[in-house]
Chains A and B, each alone.
Chain A
């Protein structure tokens, strides 16, 4: 018995070593940094320990703005992208002609570089001295007044960011949901049809429960992914996010470490741990909610 468990540990050793070195130790280290007050990068010394770093971060206007931005992004894009992906998957599942073509089109953004997509969005939305941007051309053609989506009002910038995020995360969700839909046993639909079940009821009572585990998976990963948003924001609004008022929590952490006003690993660590706490809480709530609602095959 002891011998066999020793063998098992031996097999696990490489994974345990790597995880300890690159996951457990940094996590521990971040915790330590976050409570070291007045840390000096150059001399690698600190004054004392306490919760001042947390207090500073929580009172920092830029951090609060970042939290607000991140929450708006999460609350809008996660349900929206999952819902749209579900609609598109249902559509894809019911068409027979050109199914592969549509699937390819919907999957294209997934294999496209984030920054390249960001550039395309700039062209679509940005106002320059020479051009109004494609979207504004349409708005003015329809009789509206043009809006500066990149450097204009907050809601316009948020709209572009949400639009972009939904667009980027859609392909993966569509991929997952189409395969989940395709894996539902066709006999269940036939049985429901023989029993005279209406289309809406088939969807709510059979389709949704049967793919609920995949939807739940997408919601969880969607929440986590959206909370960690950073590169998308940079792609659209550039690196000076605080000035643009479009910073995210991860962006704030990065700026505190390496940004122009950076060099504060203690503040960065505290902010990172706050993000960790938020994500953990939301995921726990998700798990609790899903325990009753989700069917696992």
Chain B
């Protein structure tokens, strides 16, 4: 089921009684989620992504705008008539009911022609439980299960009615690190098997990048960018998106375009033929550095962290907005930890320029002036 959001806006009355007015949680949001995709809604806390999810679900009605599932306008429909399944951050399992009763709960609500017999309900519940591999735990209470198992029950309960759209609110945030990796693969697998259009909310960019077909980056209630994870990472439209995606984070420097060259401090680090002169933010991904003895970019070495596969060079630079410059090089590289400065060559495709004032992306050709000898 395709989901289309048109100019979606949600305003809440301000909690501050004295000033009154409204807080805009989601502002003029439009995008389309293709059928059968797993979509990550990504943004920092308080950016309106949960409000967004609640509107798709039907728990909140939008102040303005329309929501379509396929060709149906569902903007005014209550959740139960939309055909959505929702997994809450707290899982919201009914603690006094067993796993089986929890999964059967949505089915028991069906009325009239849709009403099911007890046997059919049990069968369907078992089917859903098998999908998330908890069929052996059907008679347990939620309190007798681990967080990961509870999560699966919540997913099974959301899937048992065969929804058109599955929504997950911060599905992994309550799990420990190891379980998180496992569970996110699990969500990917379940989504593939059922082919239900799935939207999940997260503030963890790694989580979103790793399993989504598409990611939607939000900030302060506004859509920043939508695209395949790698595309958004490689080609951020503004400084916020560039900073938000990637661990370690992108290194940001105050720089200048002048005379067809990109300058950071007093060093012309890259050629930028035909660019107009202006001040810019320069974002360099950690993997965009190449160790090079006569490289044009020089930083003051702080320490070297070797982490198996990679070596991370931590250094400082006066023009850097981050506290340290992090660069990742393959661990084969030789570097003397006692030297005072390190010299780098930059990979032009890992460097993004942003306007100093609007922080929007500046698209201009960048080239390496120094040839490796």
Measuring CB to CB, which residues of chain A are less than 8 angstroms from any residue of chain B? 185, 187-188, 190-198, 201, 205-206, 209-210, 212, 295, 297
A-B contact pairs, 30 of them (CB 8 A): A185-B90, A187-B88, A187-B90, A188-B94, A190-B92, A191-B88, A191-B92, A191-B94, A191-B157, A192-B105, A193-B59, A193-B78, A194-B59, A194-B79, A194-B80, A194-B84, A194-B85, A194-B86, A195-B80, A195-B106, A196-B78, A196-B79, A196-B80, A196-B106, A196-B109, A198-B109, A206-B94, A209-B94, A209-B96, A210-B95
Task: Kindly identify which residue among B57, B84, B89, B109 contacts A197, using a CB–CB cutoff of 8 Å.
Answer: B109
Is B58 part of the binding interface, using a Cβ–Cβ cutoff of 8 Å? yes
Contacts A187-B92, A188-B94; A194 near B105 (Cβ below 8 A): no
The answer for the CA separation of A197 and B110 in the assembled complex, in Å, is: 9
Residues of A near B79 (CB, < 8 A) are 193-194, 196
Residues of B near A185 (CB, < 8 A) are 90, 92
Return B116 CB to nearest CB of chain A, in Å: 13
The answer for the CA separation of A189 and B254 in the assembled complex, in Å, is: 50
Residues of A near B105 (CB, < 8 A) are 192, 195, 197, 205
Whether the pair A191, B86 counts as a contact (CB closer than 8 A) is: yes
Q: Which residue of A lies closest to B81 (CB)?
A: A196
* Count, A-B residue pairs, CB within 8 A: 58
Q: Which residue of B lies closest to A296 (CB)?
A: B96
The answer for the CA separation of A195 and B94 in the assembled complex, in Å, is: 13
Residues of A near B161 (CB, < 8 A) are 195
Residues of A near B157 (CB, < 8 A) are 191, 195
Return A235 CB to nearest CB of chain B, in Å: 41
Please classify the interface of chain B as helix (H, G, I), strand (E, B), loop, or mixed, using the class held by over half of its residues: loop
Return A216 CB to nearest CB of chain B, in Å: 13
- Per-residue A-contact encoding for B44-83, CB less than 8 Å = 1, 0 else: 0000000000000111000000000000000000111100
Residues of B near A190 (CB, < 8 A) are 59, 86, 88, 92
Contacts A209-B96, A210-B96; A201 near B86 (Cβ below 8 A): no
Whether the pair B109, A195 counts as a contact (CB closer than 8 A) is: yes
For window 292-322 of B, CB contacts with A under 8 Å fall at none
Return A72 CB to nearest CB of chain B, in Å: 34
Nearest 9 CB-CB pairings of A with B: A196-B80, A187-B92, A195-B106, A295-B96, A191-B92, A209-B96, A194-B79, A194-B86, A187-B88
Measuring CB to CB, which residues of chain B are less than 8 angstroms from any residue of chain A? 57-59, 78-81, 84-86, 88-90, 92, 94-96, 105-106, 109-110, 157, 161
Residues of A near B110 (CB, < 8 A) are 196
Residues of A near B94 (CB, < 8 A) are 188, 191, 205-206, 209
Whether the pair A297, B92 counts as a contact (CB closer than 8 A) is: no
Whether the pair A295, B95 counts as a contact (CB closer than 8 A) is: yes
Q: Which residue of B lies closest to A206 (CB)?
A: B94
Return B286 CB to nearest CB of chain A, in Å: 38
Residues of A near B86 (CB, < 8 A) are 190-191, 194
Return B268 CB to nearest CB of chain A, in Å: 56
Return A283 CB to nearest CB of chain B, in Å: 23
Residues of B near A212 (CB, < 8 A) are 96
Residues of A near B89 (CB, < 8 A) are 187
Residues of A near B84 (CB, < 8 A) are 194
Return B147 CB to nearest CB of chain A, in Å: 15
The answer for the CA separation of A161 and B88 in the assembled complex, in Å, is: 49
The answer for the CA separation of A195 and B110 in the assembled complex, in Å, is: 9
Residues of B near A295 (CB, < 8 A) are 95-96
Residues of A near B88 (CB, < 8 A) are 187, 190-191
Q: Which residue of A lies closest to B169 (CB)?
A: A187
Whether the pair A201, B96 counts as a contact (CB closer than 8 A) is: no
Residues of B near A201 (CB, < 8 A) are 109
Residues of B near A205 (CB, < 8 A) are 94, 105
Return B53 CB to nearest CB of chain A, in Å: 11
The answer for the CA separation of A201 and B79 in the assembled complex, in Å, is: 16
The answer for the CA separation of A191 and B103 in the assembled complex, in Å, is: 12
Task: Kindly identify which residue among B58, B95, B96 contacts A194, using a CB–CB cutoff of 8 Å.
Answer: B58
Q: Which residue of B lies closest to A191 (CB)?
A: B92
Residues of B near A197 (CB, < 8 A) are 105, 109
Q: Which residue of A lies closest to B82 (CB)?
A: A194
Return A210 CB to nearest CB of chain B, in Å: 7
Residues of B near A193 (CB, < 8 A) are 59, 78-80
Return B100 CB to nearest CB of chain A, in Å: 15
Q: Which residue of B lies closest to A188 (CB)?
A: B92
The answer for the CA separation of A201 and B105 in the assembled complex, in Å, is: 11
Q: Which residue of B lies closest to A195 (CB)?
A: B106
Residues of A near B57 (CB, < 8 A) are 194
Return A272 CB to nearest CB of chain B, in Å: 39
Known: A198-B109, A209-B94; 5 extra A-B contacts, CB below 8 A, are A187-B90, A193-B59, A194-B59, A209-B96, A295-B95
The answer for the CA separation of A195 and B157 in the assembled complex, in Å, is: 9
Residues of B near A188 (CB, < 8 A) are 92, 94
